């Protein structure tokens, strides 16, 4: 039986994600980007740049079907890193298989950017496949508290991961959507995976605040924008990627809540 606080969190999560389902449009950041590749009914990928793929997976929550969540797969040669795992172990398996079959690479490292199911749900399958996992120390603590699979390695502020010749930088700049949300930066591609800390332009409110740090949220967003001011693509946890305007939009949502 799930603990009462967990059940309440799921209900809150569902209510705010419903808006995403109702307002989101096709996955992507422009009309000119590459066409999505559907790997399963609930798993699609889309190429953002050479060696960088957006993965979007869908999950049914209570009365809401096909709730989308984004993640990244970074590939260089035979090496791959996954930023945010999908909702389920089955979806993680589909992505691992696709990378091996079509990209001739292996996902060696995975990173959940916070402790919610939409970015840590497939962690057990990643471990089963032999991937090494990394997360903020607070994320490890929160997953352990909820008796979920736990990342194997942790950091407190910043960490760099190698992916072949590419570098993926992880940073915690403060609380917001959750107290443990981090961002991932690919400097050579100028791509920022902001995750659920940042909302898509379709979002009409700040979303799930069950685990949020509302006081720190706007300040954290300003730090993210200043730190990664040369980002060309910014990817939210749900909905369409865009530019730095996604951060500005999320700050407005914070101020208007």
Confirm whether 116 is a catalytic residue.
Answer: yes
Q: List Cβ neighbours of 18 (8 Å cut-off, separation of 6 or more).
A: 64, 67
Catalytic residue among 119, 163, 196, 254: 196
Between 3.60.15.10, 3.20.20.105, 2.40.50.140, 3.40.50.300, what CATH number should domain 4-255 receive? 3.60.15.10
Confirm whether 199 is a catalytic residue.
Answer: yes
Catalytic residue among 119, 238, 249, 254: 238
Residues 57-108: tens digit of each pLDDT: 999 988 778 999 999 999 999 999 999 999 999 999 999 999 999 999 999 9
Confirm whether 55 is a catalytic residue.
Answer: no
Q: List Cβ neighbours of 211 (8 Å cut-off, separation of 6 or more).
A: 9, 116, 177, 178, 179
Question: What single DSSP character describes residue 190?
Answer: T
Compute the distance between CA of residue 241 and CA of residue 15 in angstroms, rounded to an integer. 22
Confirm whether 114 is a catalytic residue.
Answer: yes
SS3 at position 18: helix
Catalytic residue among 116, 138, 189, 225: 116
Catalytic residue among 208, 211, 225, 254: 208
Phi, psi of 57 (to 5 degrees): -120, 155
Catalytic residue among 118, 119, 181, 254: 118
pTM of structure: 0.88
Residues 148-200: tens digit of each pLDDT: 999 999 999 999 999 999 999 999 999 999 999 999 999 999 999 999 999 99
Tokens representing 42? 């609930």
Q: List Cβ neighbours of 166 (8 Å cut-off, separation of 6 or more).
A: 51, 74, 76, 186, 188
Region 35-54: mean pLDDT is: 96
């Amino acid at each position: 039986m799930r603990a009462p606080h967990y059940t309440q969190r799921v209900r809150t999560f569902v209510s705010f994600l419903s808006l995403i389902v109702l307002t989101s449009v096709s996955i992507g950041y422009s009309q000119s980007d590459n066409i999505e590749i559907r790997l399963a009914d609930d798993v699609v990928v889309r190429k953002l740049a050479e060696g960088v793929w957006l993965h979007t997976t869908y999950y049914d929550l209570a009365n809401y079907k096909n709730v989308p969540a984004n993640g990244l797969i970074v590939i260089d040669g035979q090496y791959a890193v996954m930023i945010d795992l999908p909702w389920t172990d089955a979806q993680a398996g589909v992505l691992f298989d696709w990378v091996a079959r079509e990209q001739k690479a292996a996902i060696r490292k995975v990173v959940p950017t916070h402790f919610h199911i939409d970015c840590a749900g497939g962690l057990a399958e990643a471990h089963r496949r032999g991937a090494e996992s990394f997360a903020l120390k607070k994320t490890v603590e929160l997953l352990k508290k909820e008796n979920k699979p736990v990342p194997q390695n942790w950091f407190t502020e910043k960490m760099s991961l190698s992916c072949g010749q590419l570098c993926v930088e992880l940073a915690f700049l403060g609380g917001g959507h959750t107290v443990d949300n981090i961002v991932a930066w690919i400097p050579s591609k100028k791509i920022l995976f902001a995750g659920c800390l940042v909302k898509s332009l379709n979002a009409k409110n700040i979303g799930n605040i069950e685990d949020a740090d509302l006081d720190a949220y706007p300040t954290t967003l300003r730090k993210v924008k200043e730190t990664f001011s040369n980002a060309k693509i910014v990817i939210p946890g749900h909905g369409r990627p865009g530019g730095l305007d996604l951060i500005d939009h999320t700050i407005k949502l914070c101020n208007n809540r």
